[in-house]
Amino acid sequence: MSRRSLTGRSSILRLPSAKIAVIILAIVLFFAIFGSMLAPQNPLTINANALYQGPGVHHLLGTDYLGRDVLSRLMAGTRLSVLTALEAVVIALVLGVPLGIATVFLGKWFDFAVNRVADALMTLPSIFFAVAVTAALGNGLVQAMLPIGVLLAPVFFRVTRAATLEFTSAQYVEAAELLGGSKVHVIRVHVLRKVLPTVAVTTATATAAALLAVSFLTFLGIGVQPPTPTWGGVLSSDLDYLSQAPWAPFIPGALIAITVGAVNALADAFRDRTAPGALPMLDPVIKTHSTLEVADVRQSAA
Amino acid sequence: MAVAELTGVAGAIAPRRRRGRAALSGIGGGLAVLIPILVLSSFITYSLGALSNSNPAATILGQDAATPAAVAKLDRVLGLDKPLVVQYWDWLTQAVQGHLGVSYFTQIPVSQSIAQRLPVDLSIAIGAVILGLLIGGTAGVVAAIRRGSWVDRGITLVCSVFSTLPAFVIGIILVVVFAVTAHLLPANGYTGPSSGVGSWLEHIILPSLALALQLAADIARQLRTSLVSVLEQNYIVGARVRGLPYRRILVRHTLRNASGPALTILGYDFPIMLAGAVAAEVVFSLPGMGQLLLEAAQTRDIPVVQGVVLVISTFVIVMNLLVNGALAWLNRSNRGVSA
């Protein structure tokens, strides 16, 4: 709560953690777009005279077991990791958010059915499922991230549904309906706009999860053929040569951890500002109760 | 790592809903929820095989023998000419009896391969839960008692680092530190408990620790938060005024009331830990379920893939039910205490 009063209603960029996170993500995004062009060396060039080199002048982050420049490989691998992570997030958004709003308005049975499907999807272990899907649809990162997106959708669905329920029971929505506002109008003006901040926070956390999933899948060797550089791939090849270069895995490992951490930090900052207390913004009337009671209220309303 | 569980937002809302539901209906209601979910998720799992445009009969027969007549005959034997729902029903009724079909390539029964490999993952997962509860519980309690001190800040910092680091990165760090550099523990391999408990423990401690640290960090953070809020409640002040010993207050009045959210974390981290177990298998070269799945995915050995996913998701679902049951029990006994 003290953090909130420090930032007040001002930009989340006032938070130092958010500022650092934005800078890190800007760099990652820059590399995702221009990385393969700006890479100091060809990420695929093998150099037998420069195996397992530590960070130095010629190779800023050292070389791998084939003498390839690690910095260039990581820069060139950024695009695939970021794009496929976004693929999963977009799938999840497109599936989850409209359904989350629709279940509130389309009646009890629809709500019940979608909720049970969401429950079932949430129990599926996503990495196992992603690997299984590559067995069925072919070994590609685009295929592997499909199920990750589908399995992330229930998160968006639940959050959107909860927030929508929250706002549709608000008095001003009732008033808008009484004043003759159409359902579409009420959803667009009174519900969607209020739900968006919550969706934004979820998007950030889901992006972190998707990035982690991409690096993990590429670490497992799913979805890419060996010479193609990926973050996880660099990490897993370092693993086979630990006795020669024990420091090597720390570079891709740190890159993955820092990127995921930055997205998470941004999500936290955004949540603190738009939805303090991890719950979506509540009606002032309900706010006076404890959060647990609110959850119970919400559940009995559902 | 059930990605859904990875994101904090779902965790923020779902546990309360589930807790409410579980408290009302207990395990019986849990079963009513469990069975439809199991049916749905197993159907999704089974449909994967149908989704694939691979032709199992042709794969089994090999290029030369795969004449259309031979393929059609084998399709009939395998039941692949029936409608999907019928195939699914046959598969499910067999699966319930422990028959998950045979591998297309090795002809080894899938349930046999899984039974061989499951103990590896169970060992490291159970080890990880024990280590995670011990480390996370201790850290959370210490941080809450000494809240505001440098100990508290240190624990919070370490926790944020560990909950950001994915299990495969933590695993590699542990290998580098304990196996490659210090030579204290074996870097890879697995021996079952039957061939010596000592060597079994030696082989599972690093993988378990790799999985446990994230769980520990999550538990510590959650426990600290809920402990601090409970410690500021009036009845704790009341208990102190009545002169009850601090340790008794901490255990009977505080921990009991504050452990619910931490327990929920355990339920939510469990799928993540299974994914972490795959990472640990790769990092530490353990012959577990993840390796089985990865190999099967590469060769498109669909029965093995379906079997592994079915077993793993059943574990996740049952674990969720157990956590819900435990929460319901905690809630009920808490009501007894505070009434």
Query: What mean pLDDT comes out for the span A269-293?
Result: 43
Tell me the residues of chain B between 283 and 322 that have a Cβ less than 8 Å away from chain A. Answer: 283, 290, 293-294, 296-298, 300-302, 305-306, 308-309, 312-313, 316-317, 320
CB proximity B181 to A under 8 Å: yes
Instruction: Report CB contact under 8 Å: B48, A133.
Output: yes
How far is Cα A31 from Cα A74, in angstroms, rounded to an integer? 9
- Name the H helices within chain B: 3-6, 8-51, 56-65, 68-78, 84-96, 110-145, 150-164, 167-174, 197-231, 234-241, 246-248, 256-283, 289-299, 302-338
* pLDDT score for B1: 42
- Average the pLDDT over A234-246 and give the result: 76
| Residues of chain B contacting residue A236, judged by C-beta atoms under 8 Å apart | 282
Name beta bridge partners: A63: A69
Inter-chain touch B282–A236, beta carbons under 8 Å: yes
Instruction: Residue window 3-32, chain B: list those with CB within 8 Å of chain A.
Output: 3-10, 12-14, 16-17, 20-21
- In terms of pTM, does the model score above 0.80? no
Amino acid A292: pLDDT: 32
- CB–CB of A136 and B54 under 8 A? yes
CA distance A284 to A294: 12
Taking a C-beta distance cutoff of 8 angstroms, is the pair A283, B1 a contact?
A: no
Residue of B nearest to A140 (CA): B298
Give B260→chain A minimum CA distance, Å.
13
pLDDT for position B284: 83
B275 touches chain A (CB under 8 A): yes
Name A293's Cβ contacts closer than 8 Å, sequence gap at least 6: none
Q: What angle do CA A246, A249, B206 make, to 5 degrees?
A: 75
Whole-angstrom Cα distance, residue B87 to residue B94? 11
Alpha-helix residue ranges (DSSP H) falling in B54-109: 56-65, 68-78, 84-96
Interhelix angle for B150-164 vs B110-145, to 10°? Answer: 160
Q: Of B7, B180, B323, which to mutate for an interface test with A (greatest number of A Cβ within 10 Å)?
A: B7
Residues of B in contact with A127 (CB under 8 A): 1, 275, 278
Interchain proximity A120–B44, CB inside 8 Å: yes
Instruction: Give mean pLDDT, residues A101-120.
Output: 85
Whether A216 sits inside 8 A of B52 (CB atoms) is: no
pLDDT digits (tens, 9 = 90+) for A120-179: 787 778 888 888 888 888 778 888 888 889 988 998 998 888 888 877 777 787 788 788
pLDDT at A237 exceeding the cut of 70: yes
Handedness of CA B255, B256, B258, B264 (dihedral sign): positive
Yes or no, beta carbons of B173 and A253 under 8 Å apart: yes
Residue B139 has a CB neighbour count (10 Å cut-off) of 24
Chain A interface, best mutation among B1, B5, B6, B9, by max A CB count within 10 A: B9
Burial class (CB in 10 A: 0-12, 13-18, 19+), A116: middle
CB nearest to A135's CB, from B33, B52, B172: B52
Average pLDDT, chain A: 76
Q: Residue A93 — very low, low, confident or very high, per pLDDT cuts 50/70/90?
A: very high
CA distance B20 to A299: 8
pLDDT in tens, chain B (339 residues): 444 434 433 333 444 455 445 444 555 666 777 788 888 888 888 887 777 666 667 666 666 666 777 777 777 777 777 777 888 888 888 888 888 888 887 888 888 888 888 888 888 888 898 999 899 989 988 898 888 888 888 888 888 888 777 778 888 888 888 877 767 777 666 776 777 777 777 778 888 888 888 889 888 888 888 888 888 888 888 888 888 888 888 777 777 777 777 777 777 777 777 777 888 888 888 888 888 888 888 888 888 888 888 888 888 888 877 877 777 777 666 555 443
**ipTM value of the model?**
0.74
Q: Which of A239, A230, A210 is nearest to A43 (CA)?
A: A230
